[in-house]
Structure 1
Amino acid sequence: MAAGGLTRRARSASGVSIQCVIRTLCGCRAPAHVLSCPHVIDRQSPAFREQGLRAGGFLIVALVLLAGCKPQPAAPALERVPVPKQERLPAQEGRVSISGDDALAGVLSWTLPEVHVDSPSKARAAARRALAKGDLFETADSAIPLLLALQKAQPGNEQDAHLLEKAQAALLSQAWTALAEDEDLASLRYAQRHGTVLRTLWPAQPEVREYLDAVDRVGQAFELGMAGERAMRAGNLDAPGGALELFRKAQALWPAQARAQRGIAAVESALIVGAQAKAAAGDFNGAYLELARAERVRHDTQTIPAARERIEVLRADRIRRLGDEGLMALGDPGGLQVARERLAEMLSIALPGDAASVALRQRIDLVGHYGLFRPGQVFTDEMPDASRGPELSVLPRGGFLMGAAADEPDASADEQPRHRVDFERGFAMTRREITIGQFRRFVEATGYVPRATQRGHSMAYDARSGNFLRGSGIDWRSGYDGRPAADGMPVIHVTARDAEAYAAWLSEQTGVHYRLPSEAEFEYALRAGVQGRYPWGNGAPPAESENLAGGRDVSPQGRRWSNAFPGYGDGRWGPAPAGSFAPNAFGLYDMAGNVSEWVADCWHKGYRRAPANGAAWVNPGCRTRMYRGGSWASAPAQARSAWRMSGGVDVTNARVGFRLVRQL
């Protein structure tokens, strides 16, 4: 016996049948003599080979039979089986009605094979052997034709009558077992074939009539399930006559049918997908109408709440982006109307009292007070505990040419075309990169778990090989080489989402809006009015102006850079404490070196159709983000003002940190 499969006989070595076990569990509607039958499907029988039945396991049979069980009094014992006439009997109340297949002619028609009994003892022995093998009806050597011929030859033989009773019970057992495997068309055809034989020989017996009714219901359920699947493919889900109605009809006919159960679940899933698509497009009322349709399908206690949560995540993300767009628009002279439009859209999709909507409304009301700041001003925001947030510098309004010139050495097409960007209002930027100490305060206050901590690894510099390798146990508390780092060092091994989580917390603490800078804002701040190849111009970097890869830099292990600024040295291998070098003209530290920094933009190949007002260029749900600025390990080409690089939303390494912009 194969593992998990059916035996060729229902009785085990101890003599207890599988059907008897099922019968013991509950008073099943399957006939009592079926549940005590000593035979099930013979895998080697001609009928099995012809129909291609793949027998299921004991567990499948048991579960399906149990699904239809309900307690009832034990069925009466079978009466002696009379010898039927050889001609085919007319059909009674039981039906076998799967339509539309010419191949069914052989399934739904059966004639009792003609048997000539020369030696009753030999015929009886042959019948016993056929019965033992489960070969019941297909040929003249099958058990039932032999036994019927014996009864005709020797009427009243008790031994033959008893054997025929066993053969009939075995036939019903094979039939019910095949019927349990309703997912398999070959099994259904096999069950229908048995129904044809039973209808021909014993149409009036209650057990046979019960089976014929069952096989008809299973056949109809199978057809309804296939029709439901066709309706699904045509997009007809829950309308009258659609997939859901067809699957429910199939389930009502045969509750244990897995095809119908799967189909109903698939309808629910398709409606949920439609709801999420509407939410992604900003139609949240439509999304919840779709979700309400899905909820009526199964009343599932898990799938609908999970889908509702995903829709709310999309709503929150859209509200946040609209809020950012509205707040950035307030920096333009004519941006007040844009901000009001963004607020109106936010209010149309936000729940009452939404914090981002309230914040934008307040900012619109206070737009006239922005003149309190002046270019070059350095300030900090107060925290709830009277401490101060990161130090900021106010950048002046103005414009610049963003990107690389057509003839710039080492430039790529991704940095072009060079285009004009204008900032009609100034903005404030943190003067230094966010440090480990500042990020630690956020993590300890909120319990936030950054991505590298969740994942348990990040990319760090390996001193032995001189390469960047993935190391275990490395996260935001680690330095460039994976070892613990001091609080004054720039935080690295963080994702853009980690940076945005910190910005959201700082906004909440200070009551003003912090965010990642746009790519245009970063390049504007990096250039600080210098339009050359590098932030300091076109030549070599001034002495000790930035933490860069210099030809005179040497690692603790004696390594040197193979591609560095010739003759330059800053005395560092790895990041320096934030603010260790001189600030640029806008009062910002480490813009061109130390660590590269995440920005708010999604990856786009080149600048065609890029915003001209310096806003972040984003796509909802994008998986690739930008970072800008050179680092301690950047080649000279990567220290250029126009250089840009992308990374996945989950990327962390020893070269990328972040700083923030505060909206004025």
Structure 2
Amino acid sequence: MRGPLVVLLCCMVALGACRREAPQTGPVDPSGDGQVTISGDDLVIADLNWTPPPVRIEEGAEGDARARAAEALGDDDLHATPASAIPLYLALSAISGEERAAAAGLRRARIRLLALGTMALDEADTGDSIAGLRAAHEFAAVARFLAADDPDVLTYLQRVDESDRLWELNRAAERALDAGELGEDGGGALAGFRQAAALRPGQPRAMQGLAAVESALIRRAEVAGSEGDFQTAARWLAHAAEVRPGMQTVVDARQRIQRMRATRIQRLRDEGVAALPKINGVAQARQRLAEILTIAEPGDPVARDLRQRIDRAVHYGDFRPGQVFTDALEGGARGPQMVVLPHGGFMMGALPGDADAEDNERPRHAVRFERGFAMGVREITVGEFRRFVETTGYQSRAVRRGFSMAYDERTGNFLRRSNVDWRSDYAGAPAADTLPVLHVSARDAQAYADWLSAQSGRRYRLPSEAEFEYAFRNGTSERYPWGEGTPPQGSGNMTGALDRSPSGRRWGNAFAGYGDGHWGPAPVGSFRPNPWGVHDLEGNVSEWMGDCWHATYRRAPADGSAWINPGCRDQVIRGGSWASSPAQTRASWRALAQVDTTNARIGFRVVRDL
């Protein structure tokens, strides 16, 4: 059985110590760098001249020569030695009487020569064999010597020329590839391999070269991706997609780089989140977000998550808008329930055209909270104030002086009554723990807030009146939370025309057609909260603010902070009570009270910084 064609060709053309050579262009490097290996011994000698080896046939040995020539022809030993078929037939053609036999033998030899040459060209073109191309040249030289004008020879010679061109195109493209001259913008390895593929469609060496260029472009894309330059990576992938359109390799590479992108984005997000609680952490997190935005697709959910976390950290610390929470106090107790209000802005003060407004509610002005804050969901209760007093031994103002202002059912007025303090209800009777604490001064309320701060390690305080009105309006710009007119049933504990005292008294100035079923404060949270989750801002009890009293809003803080003058004797109260007129239930209503004032209409709630 014959061995590979390349071995046979080496023997036939007698190329000295001819051996089977290793392929001149190896497979694409597994590393994916798109390189091919080029041998230094890949030059094709384009000499198509052949000189027959000298043959001497003794007189009378013509028959033996014919037999040897036929045997050599059958063994495909055509031209390399004096014992080869063509030299023998050429020698016989010069002997009288042998011309016809010699011509027939030469004809058969030429046909076989072209057949073997075609096989050699196939080996060179498809098997990437320099030996096959050299053998094809050798056959071409012999065929040209025998019949330069023969149509079959001319066709074969043209095929040899094309194979030479193909070889040179591939070789030049491979050198460009190894030099990194890929030709994504024209020329280079890509142009060479494309010309080779056009010359011989599907030629393996050219196809392998195109795959190598594609691989090199993909490798560049992956390097760019590993460095975080996904814009450049996308550009290299776009070039790679044009090399062999529709190939899965680029699709797979794009998925790998997308995973790189996702991994990098996730890492940057995690670094940003980890930085937020640290000193200068917001700035670091913003830097990570900026890096993400340079590589992420629009609307990337990871980028959106980090941006939201940064916004929350800036405006709410560890909280989120609408979150309800309580802080742990020493000894295992819990503080009052708080709700996180959103940062934002509003117009504070009386609405234009409000006939009930007074000068102290003007001028209307813009207030903006750059950071959210937490407000008590409900007013502070008797039970909550009791825990403070029992823990600290604190004596409120009413306890120390022995009296407060309580409601007198007999006269329908508020009168000074002895032994009335924070433990008493609006009429001076013992108060249930669920009722809002009454008969507390501004200083009593501040003392409670200070105690909460010490117990929780967080800053609690009285609301600023800007915070109170902001929460009261909760995004609306109406006089009342419900707009105008009679409140919807269940809105809150306010003076309603349908309310009755224990002895049947009615309010002289009340909301027509409204009743809430209470004469005096209701247990905190008895009515539905506003949209931000806060109860009883418009009713139940009026509340102490942290602000000192100022007769107008001129020069008032624009950041929502409390407007304080050291040592002030008058502080602001806000919000309607169970005994307030409709005008005193408006969002912009405000009044002053001496800091030591205690009565049956004023309580308080707290806020907490985030």
TM-score (normalised: structure 2) = 0.48
Relative to the length of structure 1, the TM-score reads: 0.45
